Amino acid sequence: DADVTQTPRNRITKTGKRIMLECSQTKGHDRMYWYRQDPGLGLRLIYYSFDVKDINKGEISDGYSVSRQAQAKFSLSLESAIPNQTALYFCATSDRLAGLLNTGELFFGEGSRLTVL
Amino acid sequence: QKEVEQDPGPLSVPEGAIVSLNCTYSNSAFQYFMWYRQYSRKGPELLMYTYSSGNKEDGRFTAQVDKSSKYISLFIRDSQPSDSATYLCAMTARDGGTSYGKLTFGQGTILTVHP
């Protein structure tokens, strides 16, 4: 089984619908992140969480919300989806020590492809 | 202007070629530089990590950082079809130990190595 699991892997929805993307990890890492990837724009950080009680906005948080239900679970919600939220979404984790050393090693899930019509 | 600019490619080379992938950046606070590799329908995975200026070699891969020019490169020697993937540069500043995963990524370069 994958260390970082995202569900669903693919989702097509309509404008205005509420969507939740879920992420769970078995790596035991305390830090979790949501990124989106768009062609020509690379990966951009949406939200990140250092632990269950610590959630922070990234560079493109508008239109998104998150919930850290447990150390191993971090979900991303689109309250009212719009077409420009069509993208590939990645959940990632990192270890606090790696963060202190600034090694930059994020462990990514396989992505959730969201299409908003 | 984006903080990190990466040659978009796509890049198509024959097997055995030397590949050069490049990124420039504008934030002089960046001190940690990474290259991630992303295969089709997969998440990115860390390939190389370098601190400050200099070279780092790992097998067929060499990462090079020139902080004076704000320019980083990844060289792949004797490229193989299995190297076909998207390569993303990423970087972050040093922040006294409270670092988090706020990496700034380049746009990614799609590389195809054909037999």
Q: Where are the alpha helices (DSSP H) in B10-109?
A: none
Segment (H or E) for B19: strand B19-25
Between chain A and chain B, the number of residue pairs with CB atoms below 8 A apart is: 75
Which residue in B103, B109, B110 has the most chain A C-beta atoms within 10 A of its own C-beta, making it the best mutation to test that interface?
B103
B77-93 burial, b at 16+ Cβ within 10 Å, e below that, comes to eebeeebbbbbbbbbbe
State residue B96's pLDDT score. Answer: 47
State residue B101's pLDDT score. Answer: 60
Q: How confident is the model at residue B97 (pLDDT cuts 50, 70, 90)?
A: very low
Q: In this prediction, what percent of chain B has a pLDDT beyond 70? A: 93
Cα separation, A47 vs A41, whole angstroms:
17
- What is the token pair recorded at A82? 């719009």
State residue B77's pLDDT score. Answer: 97
State residue B54's pLDDT score. Answer: 85
State residue A91's pLDDT score. Answer: 97
pLDDT tens by residue, B29-85: 888 899 999 999 899 999 998 887 889 999 999 999 999 999 999 999 999 999 999
**Does the pLDDT at position B100 exceed 70?**
no
Task: Give me the residue from A33, A48, A108 closest to B45, CB to CB.
Answer: A108
Residues 6+ apart with CB under 8 A from B6: A42, B21, B22, B23, B88, B89, B106, B107, B108, B109
DSSP, residue by residue, A46-96 = EEEEEETTEEEE-TT-TT-EEEEEETTEEEEEESS--GGG-EEEEEEEE-H
Residues 6+ apart with CB under 8 A from B59: none
Residue of chain B nearest A51, judged by CA positions: B100
Asked if residue A77 lies in contact with residue A13, where contact means CB atoms within 8 angstroms, the answer is no
Q: What is the pLDDT along chain A (117 residues), one digit of tens a residue?
A: 669 999 999 999 999 999 999 999 999 998 899 999 998 888 999 999 988 999 999 989 999 999 999 999 999 999 999 999 999 999 999 887 766 566 668 899 999 999 999
